[in-house]
Amino acid sequence: MDLISLHEREQIRAYLSRDRALHVYEIGDLDPFFWPRTVWYGLSDAAAVQALALLYIGVETPVLLAVSRSESAALQALAERLAAVLPARLYAHLAPWLLEPLSAHYHIADHGTYHKMALTDTASVGTVDTSAVEQLTPAHEQELLALYAHSYPANSFDPRMLHTGHYYGVRRDGRLACSGGVHVYAPDERVAALGNITTAPEQRGQGLATQVVAALCQRLLREVDAIGLNVSAANSAAQRCYTRLGFSHIADYNECTLERKR
């Protein structure tokens, strides 16, 4: 099979659409806003693309996405071939079984296992009372930043995402106590990925995140038909919340920092 660089959205979309639930993030990057910040690699035979990986270059440290539901000889071969052309330093979301072959080329700092989850039971989110949830706008940016600094310092919040209209929160005593929104929002591709969901430590255990996530999904389902999220395998409380709301665990991956060996 040949290592190829892919440049046609339709060809990439055709591959990703084989498993939309798994590839919500990659499909979202076909959106015109993100597309110029992407580099796509594939392994192809005469018939079709057999494996695909995305290098996202819209951030200071490029991010490689190479995931699958089960072991794939084609994806492993693609990762091994890519090792010669990838940046010297990158962050990565990798299928767990790719760590060993890439360790021949990179020093790997493994930041843990994560679950990919997809909303598979859309009825469940409709049963939650979301009357206390409010929509957040760009005017709430400083409030959100303060909440994240207090309860989720390692967040990946991008204030530009407030302009999607898909950030929501719940207050306690007039202060923002819980919030959540989207990492990916691509209505033209009909996909979204939830992210930056957090509750102030002193307000946890009251079901606030359940309300916020339900409100998010209720609104998003008017515009998209695939909703996913990533959650740390160590965060059992969040996993229980998402499962109650109709999300299912579909695959694992590891988040890592890769530094090329000299």
The pTM of the full predicted model, rounded to 2 decimals, is: 0.93
pLDDT in tens, the chain (262 residues): 889 999 999 999 999 999 999 999 999 999 998 899 999 999 998 778 999 999 999 889 999 999 999 999 999 999 999 999 999 999 999 999 999 999 999 999 999 999 999 999 999 999 999 999 999 999 999 999 999 999 999 888 989 899 999 999 999 999 999 999 999 999 999 999 999 999 999 999 999 999 999 999 999 999 999 999 999 999 999 999 999 999 999 999 999 999 999 8
> Do the strands 191-199 and 226-232 form a parallel or antiparallel pair, or are they unpaired?
parallel
| Whole-angstrom distance, CA of residue 37 vs CA of residue 207 | 37
Domains of the chain and CATH, by start: 2-114+253-260 (3.40.630), 121-245 (3.40.630.30)
- 123 token code pair: 């009825």
| Whole-angstrom distance, CA of residue 158 vs CA of residue 144 | 11
Cα–Cα distance list, 55 to 25, 38, 58, 234, 241 (Å): 12, 6, 9, 26, 31
